[in-house]
Amino acid sequence: MNMSCVTDLAETSALYAGFAASFRYPEEAGNWLSGHEFLDAFDPGTNPAATPLSEAAYADIDTSALFEELVRYYEHFGLRRCETAALPDHLSVELEFMHFLCELQLVAAARGENTDPVRKAQQDFIDRHVRHLLDGVLKGLLGKGIDHEDKAVLLVRECLEFVEEHRGMFTD
């Protein structure tokens, strides 16, 4: 086992957890955006011009079909949604799931097990959900004339670049 790969995966996992925290509602938010900045950028209930963080806002499929697909991903890996949790298509939930998959891969690697199934799940989830959602959020923010240097735009861009870099690990 290549230890630099394990270190990279541990860092990748931690970064997913950090980004997930940054996209949670203000009472849970990380420190990238203040509560006001977060609500103004991402909460349509607070600001009608805000850009939603839910994949359903950008999906080409029915919301119930999207939720069913996401729940199947989560349940396949033994996860269940509690009633008070964010909806399964929220960006913070999808990023937290990627963190979880990275942790599963780390455990499998430490045990000398085949990590291909978890790697394939990561790749598929990024391709089918995370990239699409982040791209939609970024286009939504920029389409509303928000400055390219706005903290919300920078956060989304940074996360998208990170996801693309992680996605690139699957072709190496």
Mean pLDDT for back-to-back runs of 10 residues, the chain (172 residues) = 57 95 74 85 91 95 95 94 86 97 96 95 97 97 86 95 92 62
* Per-residue confidence (pLDDT) for residue 172, from 0 to 100: 53
Give the pLDDT of residue 25.
78
- Measured CA to CA, the distance from residue 168 to residue 113 in angstroms comes to 22
Q: What's the pLDDT at 91?
A: 97
The residues with which 90 forms a beta bridge, in sequence order, are: 54
- pLDDT given for residue 1 in this prediction: 33
| Whole-structure pTM value | 0.91
pLDDT of residue 3: 35
User: Where are the alpha helices (H) located in the chain, listed in sequence order?
Assistant: 3-22, 35-42, 63-76, 91-110, 116-125, 131-143, 151-168
pLDDT of residue 27: 66
